[in-house]
């Protein structure tokens, strides 16, 4: 990126501002995890797209073609989950180098097919082109209902900030790839690399959160906790305060960070690619959500902070009690 385009998010805002007004059936246009279109029979059509680009989202020398294909599907399904939806159909576009072997391409597409079967997503078309880098671009459709739809906007002062699972494992997995001589237990290495190579979209958790409980906003954590909470705050016109000590980080992430002389919580907050759900809810709903998600999916939900009025800003309280601006970092 050039200095003129300071960040991914500023570029997105600039491009969105160029768009003309949408028609009445567009419930949500650009600016959320997926577009939302009202259908004639009352349900909502969700549409999202995401790319996996060699050298940006994966390193082909470390990643199998099947895992590249699986991840490309999973990250799009995660966007649909973050809207309270169920993925249904997708289009697959591939940009392939001339040097790729046919067996590599077969394995790549097999990974896409297998992940689609896992979540009952039908591949209904696509495109193939030649290029300098391998790119897997997926356009995915999903369905939801008005009662289940959750947007980034909707958070209100006083709401609690919650998240599924834990953070930092994908970032720690990347650090293992970049530092192959780092010694940790074989089972821990396998688990961290799995979070980096093949993330799991929280579809069941999203279904539970949106079924009976009154969450107010939701996003998946792809760019990093700080950045994605910033998206909720910007869309909802609110502030936030989160607590470092309440952010769930597994011991193995702390171990990797310590050996590399890095801060584990910085990996967790800025690392991204965790694809956990970050959402807000009134305090009265919190206990019910935590219990229902744990019982229905086995996944833990943590309360990590509180939504504030916009004028109070966005903050993180460190373990030592010091309050610092929320670290919003992406790309």
User: With 60 as the cut, is the pLDDT of residue 177 above it?
Assistant: yes
Provide, rounded to the nearest whole percent, the portion of the chain with pLDDT above 70: 93
First to last CA, the chain: 10
Q: What percent of the chain has pLDDT over 90?
A: 79
State the pTM of this model: 0.90
Q: For strands 314-317 and 323-325, give the pairing.
A: antiparallel
37 Cβ contact list (under 8 Å, min separation 6): 25, 26, 27, 44, 45, 46, 47
- Stretch (H or E) spanning 36: strand 35-38
For residue range 6-40, list pLDDT tens digits in order.
466 687 777 777 766 666 777 776 766 677 878 87
For residue 321, the model assigns a pLDDT of 95
Residue-range domains of the chain with CATH:
8-144 (3.30.1330.10), 160-325 (3.90.650.10)
Beta-carbon-side half-sphere exposure of residue 27 (alpha carbons within 13 Å): 22
Range 57-64 average pLDDT: 90
Q: For residue 134, name the pLDDT band (cuts at 50, 70, 90).
A: very high
Mean pLDDT across 285-293: 96
Indicate the pLDDT class of residue 51, thresholds 50, 70 and 90: very high
Cα 169 to Cα 171: distance, rounded to the nearest angstrom = 5
| CA-based nearest residue to 130, from 90, 99, 91, 92 | 99
Length of the chain: 331
Average per-residue pLDDT for the chain: 91
Residue 33: what pLDDT? 66
Of residues 52 and 56, the one with the higher pLDDT is: 52
Phi and psi at residue 315, in whole multiples of 5°? -140, 155
Cα–Cα distance between 82 and 142 in angstroms, integer?
11
Distance of CA 308 to the CA centre of its chain: 23
Q: Which run of H or of E encompasses 12?
A: helix 8-17
Kindly indicate the confidence band of residue 3, based on its pLDDT and cuts at 50, 70 and 90: very low
Please tell me the predicted confidence (pLDDT) of residue 212: 75
Q: What is the mean pLDDT of residues 130-150?
A: 95
> Cβ(12)–Cβ(113) under 8 Å?
no
Question: Confidence class of residue 114 from pLDDT cuts 50, 70 and 90?
Answer: very high
pLDDT tens digits for range 178-226:
999 999 999 999 999 999 999 999 999 999 999 877 899 999 999 999 9
Spatial CB neighbours of 219, under 8 Å, sequence gap ≥ 6: 33, 82, 152, 228, 231, 232, 277, 278, 279
């Amino acid at each position: 990126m050039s200095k003129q385009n300071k960040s991914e998010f500023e570029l997105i805002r600039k491009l969105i501002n160029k768009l003309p007004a949408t028609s009445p059936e567009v419930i949500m246009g650009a600016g959320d995890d997926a577009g939302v279109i009202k259908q004639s029979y009352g349900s909502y059509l969700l549409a999202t797209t995401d790319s996996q680009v060699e050298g940006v989202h994966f390193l082909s020398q470390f990643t199998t073609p099947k895992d590249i294909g699986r991840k490309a599907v999973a990250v799009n399904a995660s966007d649909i989950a973050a809207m309270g939806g169920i993925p249904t159909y997708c289009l697959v576009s591939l940009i392939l180098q001339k040097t790729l072997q046919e067996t590599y391409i077969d394995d790549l597409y097999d990974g896409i097919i297998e992940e689609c079967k896992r979540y009952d997503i039908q591949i209904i078309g696509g495109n193939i082109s030649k290029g300098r880098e391998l790119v897997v671009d997926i356009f995915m459709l999903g369905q939801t209902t008005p009662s289940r739809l959750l947007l980034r906007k909707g958070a209100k002062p006083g709401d609690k900030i919650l998240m599924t699972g834990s953070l930092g494992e994908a970032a720690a997995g990347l650090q293992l790839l970049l530092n192959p001589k780092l010694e940790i237990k074989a089972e821990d290495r396998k688990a961290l690399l799995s979070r980096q190579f093949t993330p799991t979209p929280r579809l069941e958790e999203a279904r539970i959160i949106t079924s009976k409980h009154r969450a107010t906003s939701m996003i998946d954590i792809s760019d990093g906790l700080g950045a994605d909470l910033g998206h909720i705050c910007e869309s909802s016109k609110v502030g936030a305060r989160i607590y470092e000590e309440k952010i769930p980080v597994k011991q193995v992430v702390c171990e990797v960070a310590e050996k590399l002389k890095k801060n584990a919580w910085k990996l967790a907050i800025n690392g991204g690619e965790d694809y956990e759900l970050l959402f807000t809810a009134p305090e009265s709903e919190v206990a019910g959500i935590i219990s229902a998600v744990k019982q229905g999916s086995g996944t833990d939900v943590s309360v990590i902070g509180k939504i504030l009025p916009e004028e109070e800003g966005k903050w993180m309280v460190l373990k030592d009690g010091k309050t610092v601006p929320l670290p919003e970092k992406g790309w």
